[in-house]
Structure 1
């Protein structure tokens, strides 16, 4: 690696992080949960998209937590548990 390519990497952020692969949507109490674990440092960050409604009435919340889980499948299970708990606690207030 040359000096210029090394400097380019510093300013461009280097290689881009892998995209989070979304799973199939799960319906829960009128909300739709789409788990989307984010790969990070060989682990997976708890993340999902929570939506409610359709068309112009649709509301969306990006659910991202600090938890890092070694297994993708385990991360999805934890994500589902945490999103359901959040929906139970906040309901529509989740959207602000």
Structure 2
């Protein structure tokens, strides 16, 4: 066994090597909600998918983007997309435009 794999297993990195870089989000699946655009973007995590989405809004002539990533995992990309939209709506309801505030 290579030392890199040994240290990876000891310190918790993925030993399976199955995590892939996230694909660019599919903008055709964007959902409009209260003036925000939600673009589901599930991220592969082993054999499952993490909940992730981009939340965008035009403010003062500039498109602002928030990258929503949660630790929730799902068996399919479609399940992760549906849950990401639900969670993004919740975040928008709770934070509104403050979502884009620094700090």
Deviation at 1:54, TM superposition (A): 6.8
1:35 equivalent to 2:23? Answer: no
User: Are residues 87 and 73 of structure 1, via their aligned partners in 2, closer, same or farther at CA, if it must alter by over 3 Å?
Assistant: same
Deviation at 1:51, TM superposition (A): 0.5
Structure 2: runs of 5 or more not aligned: 6-16
Normalised by the length of structure 1, the TM-score is 0.77
Deviation at 1:21, TM superposition (A): 5.0
Deviation at 1:53, TM superposition (A): 0.5
The runs of at least 4 consecutive aligned structure 1 residues that moved more than 3 Å come to 6-9
Structure 1: runs of 5 or more not aligned: 1-5
For residues 76 and 44 of structure 1, what CA distance do their matches in structure 2 show? 9
For residues 71 and 78 of structure 1, what CA distance do their matches in structure 2 show? 11
Task: Give the alignment of 1:1-96 within 5 angstroms.
Answer: 17-23=20-26, 24-53=29-58, 56-96=61-101
For residues 16 and 69 of structure 1, what CA distance do their matches in structure 2 show? 14
SS at match of 1:47: strand
Task: Calculate the aligned-residue CA RMSD, in Å.
Answer: 2.7
